[in-house]
Amino acid sequence: MKKPTINDLKQHKIDGTKFKMITVYDHQIASIVNRTNIDMILVGDSLGMIIKGEEGTNGVTIDEIQYHLKCV
């Protein structure tokens, strides 16, 4: 399945159509998601609450996000 490009996302915005995205933080889940019809994976600061068990996202650093991006 072809993954969307930036231009594809811009076209979704113009057309008002939706695409499927899921948040993932590790390679194992990313490899499963890649076998589905999900359009895009998001790695974001919510890892502060989901992975680190923090109360919010303010404590998440760019280095932590980069680490999880590499895992995915």
Q: By C-alpha distance, which of 34, 38, 33, 64 is closest to 49?
A: 64
Tens of pLDDT along the chain (72 residues) come to 677 899 999 999 999 999 899 999 999 999 999 999 898 999 999 999 999 999 999 999 999 999 999 999
pTM flag (> 0.85): no
Task: Mark residue 69 as left, alpha or beta (left: phi above 0; alpha: psi -120 to 50; beta: remaining).
Answer: alpha
